[in-house]
Amino acid sequence: LSPKYTVAGVQDGSFEAFHRGTSTTKQYTALCCATLKGEKIVAINIDRILVDGLDSTNVMLNNLGKTETDVIILGGVTFGGFNVVDVEYVYNRTGIPVIVYSGYYPDMEATKNALCKHFSDWKIRWRRYEILGEIHEFESGFPHTIFFEFFGCSKEFAEKILMEQSITCRIPEAVRVADIIAKEVSSIFQNQGEYSGESLG
């Protein structure tokens, strides 16, 4: 069965968690959009986002604008710590449905507590979680249930996409590839003392 849909998977790089909030130094990590049709790479776009910043929505929109895609799958609604994506805004701007993937059942209570504790603008961030509504379960055929939310499409469409993207493992193929690339790019620049820190700001 050949794949019907072009899918943009989005995932972030790693960063040094122990530096978070301990200084005034800005820390960045990579955000990778991997656009695939089935297993085939259509495009790769990489940019950086601010750890715990609020720029992931615009960075993603800027990257996605370069390639046509039928649907976006986020590897979580937040990247680079609590840099939460405004999924409603993404859909309103692009008309492209958004699926938020998770490998575990998200603990929304713990998330809200962490936001309230660490961010004076927690209401802006929390609203971006709330807008996603109910968390759904999905069986991909690979071991372990996955969880998803969606915006701008039906539940049936989201499930069809998740099934078509279950190729290598339960992680949607486009998210799996975006993750490999984002982690590789971010690790290079962390090892070289680059890509994080004020000097790039």
> Starting from the edge strand earliest in sequence, which strands make up the sheet with 6-12, in order?
40-50, 28-37, 6-12, 71-74, 98-102, 146-151, 136-138
Binding mask 48-87 for its own copies (x = CB under 8 A): x---------------------------------------
Q: Which is nearer to its own copies, 112 or 183 (CB)?
A: 183
Positions 112 through 131 that interact with its own copies (CB under 8 A): none
Q: How far is the CB of 199 from its own copies (least distance, A)?
A: 9
| Pairwise CA distance, residues 88 & 101, whole Å | 16
Binding mask 12-51 for its own copies (x = CB under 8 A): --------------------------xxxx-xxxxxx---
Q: Which is nearer to its own copies, 58 or 111 (CB)?
A: 58
Phi-psi label, residue 135: left if phi above 0, alpha if psi -120 to 50, beta otherwise? beta
- Phi/psi at 39 (5° precision): -90, -15
Q: How far is the CB of 188 from its own copies (least distance, A)?
A: 6
Q: Which is nearer to its own copies, 23 or 168 (CB)?
A: 168
The size of the interface with its own copies (CB under 8 A), counted in residues, is: 23
Residues in the chain: 201
| Pairwise CA distance, residues 19 & 71, whole Å | 34
| Pairwise CA distance, residues 9 & 149, whole Å | 15
Say which residues have a Cβ less than 8 Å from residue 145's Cβ, sequence separation at least 6. 137, 138, 139
Positions 134 through 193 that interact with its own copies (CB under 8 A): 167-168, 176-177, 180-181, 184-185, 188, 192
Element spanning 110, H or E: helix 108-118
Q: Which is nearer to its own copies, 163 or 200 (CB)?
A: 200
Interaction site with its own copies (CB under 8 A)? 38-41, 43-48, 167-168, 176-177, 180-181, 184-185, 188, 192, 194-195, 200
